Chain A
Amino acid sequence: MTRFGRTDLPPEQARALRQAIGIEVFTICYTAVTIVVVALVLGNSQAMKTAWIEDIFSLTPQVAFLVALIFVRRRPTKRFPFGLHRAMGVGHLVAGVALFVVGANLAFEAVTGFVEGDHPTIGTIVLFGQNLWLGWLMIAVMAVIAIGPPFYGRYKLKLAKKLHNKLLFADADMAKADWHTNAASIVGVMGIGLGIWWLDSAAALFISLGILWDGVKNTKAAVLDLMDTRATSYDQKHTHPLIGQTNELLGGLRWVRKNAVRMRDEGQVFHVEAYVVPHKSRVKLSTIEAAERAIVGLDWKVQDVNLIVVSELPPEADASLPDR
């Protein structure tokens, strides 16, 4: 439960992971309910249909996260000597591509609907003996189900930061922006109600472009990590400070003349290669191992560390120091 490959999670992260599993399962249940409820009032609004399909596909990051966890927790083997951490990245990529394809498809449908001048038809229903325009019910449903995501989105964001999990971050980011979808579908249905039929297509286009954009962002983020980009923060906005910290640590050792690191993000933990040019050509094994242990001690994410003694630093390795 509390293990990532060869990385044992510290208590804080282990707790955050349990919370993350809990909130992801909760989200799947919540979304399943909203999918059923929206399906009942779907009608002919393209905006509603788009929002509904977005709901369905918003499940992919959560499912990908939970499935990836099964693999990520396995210890490295001879066949998978680096562990199975990349499962998280693969899940992220799958979610990103799915969102992209669905978003593009829905955007196309919205534009076609507009060009063909589709006038969406929404009739009435009888509710408690009263004849009610179904549009009112759609608006009510969309307004009510918009309440959940911003709350659990914020909660997931905190967990994503603690766990350094980019899939969870993407999921949180999408949940936080989910109310845009609901607002847009309400505008679309109101448009139909007011006789402004094209507002429905416009709202559908707005929602589908949001999905498309989520797809682009997630695909890009997943591909960057799978291509072994230099380790970054969980939101991919900055170079990860551990690169600088590792260099600072090595630079502070008396036997080290020059140093640089190659650090890649395997999904939740890092793989670190530290290159060191020593002052003397003879270095004791125990000295090297002590430095390795010191790097491992920097952070829970760095457990897989190789310290390599060289005569010259490889130019690609990063010799930067943390920003002060």
Chain B
Amino acid sequence: MLKRSPLSLVALALVFALAGCGSIPADPDGTLEQVTDGVLRVGASPDDGLISVAGNEVSGDEAELVEGFAETLNARVEWTIGGEERLVGQLDTGKLDLVVGGITDATPWVESAGVTRAYPAMPGADGRNIVMLVPLGENRFLGELERFLDAAVGE
């Protein structure tokens, strides 16, 4: 491989120095910042026990969790109802911030969405390993959501 160079050591030291002052992880597209004190755009597909849709009203245990999360960010939830593929597509193009609806850790959408840890203890999950989908690479937002779910649901 390449010759040992002091340059790469310097680069490494620099990265660590940066780590000290910045907030890590960051969102490349700034999702958490946009949502805070603003609007949390959530896509939901109906799921027995977790998401019920009646007209424009979205309810259910998972919907309540989303509302709770939005509250911690001082944000208002804007629901979009649809099938998973359409919602994931909108997540991928930046039109949504979060997709929920009884999605499990076996989800095939890993190429198009960031996936939270599984929360089998979620009320209404019925033993399924429930996850939520976030935009790819928005790691600060993802961390914030997982922190909230850890506290609200328990790991």
Which residues on A are within 8 Å of B, measured CB to CB? 44, 118-126, 131, 133, 135, 174, 177, 180-181, 183, 186-187, 190, 192-197, 210, 213-214
Contacts and interface: CB of A to CB of B under 8 A. Distances in A.
A80 B59 CA distance: 79
Interface stretch (B47-55, B61-69, B75-83, B142-150): B142-150
A51 B120 CA distance: 32
A218 B123 CA distance: 57
A125 to B, nearest CB: 7
Contact of A197 (B12, B15, B137): B137
B122 to A, nearest CB: 16
B1 A177 contact: yes
Given A133-B25, A187-B11, A180 B137 contact: no
B12 A186 contact: yes
Contacts of A125: 117
B27 A180 contact: no
A213 B24 CA distance: 34
Contact of B8 (A183, A197, A213): A183
Contacts of B127: none
B12 A183 contact: yes
Contacts of A210: 1-2
Contacts of B11: 187
B19 to A, nearest CB: 6
A135 B25 contact: yes
B1 A214 contact: yes
Nearest to B155: A126
B142 A123 contact: yes
Given A187-B15, A194-B22, A194-B24, A123 B116 contact: yes
Interface in B5-19: 8-9, 11-12, 15-16, 18-19
A181 B12 CA distance: 12
Contacts of B138: 119, 121
B73 interface: no
A121 B111 CA distance: 10
Contacts of A118: 136-137
B108 interface: no
B139 interface: yes
A219 B117 CA distance: 43
Given A121-B114, A180-B1, A180-B2, A194 B143 contact: no
> How extensive is the interface on chain B, given as a class?
20 to 34
A114 to B, nearest CB: 13
Given A121-B114, A121-B136, A194-B22, A131 B147 contact: yes
A125 B15 CA distance: 23
B39 interface: no
Given A123-B139, A186-B15, A194-B18, A177 B2 contact: yes
B96 interface: no
Q: Which 6 A-B pairs have the closest CB atoms?
A: A119-B137, A195-B26, A121-B114, A177-B1, A193-B24, A210-B1
Contacts of B150: 126, 131
Given A183-B12, A195-B27, A133 B143 contact: yes
Contacts of A180: 1-2, 8
A195 B2 contact: no
Nearest to A214: B1
Contacts of A186: 12, 15
B40 interface: no
A122 B134 CA distance: 11
Given A121-B137, A125-B117, A190-B24, 17 more contacts: A119-B28, A119-B136, A120-B136, A121-B139, A122-B142, A123-B114, A123-B142, A123-B143, A124-B117, A124-B147, A131-B147, A135-B139, A192-B25, A192-B137, A194-B18, A194-B25, A210-B2
A132 to B, nearest CB: 9
B115 interface: yes
Contact of B15 (A44, A123, A190, A214): A190
Contacts of B8: 180, 183
Most buried by B among A44, A121, A190: A121
Given A180-B2, A210-B1, A124 B146 contact: yes
Contacts of B143: 123-124, 131, 133
Contacts of A131: 143, 146-147, 150
Nearest to B151: A131
Nearest to B18: A194
Contacts of A197: 28, 137
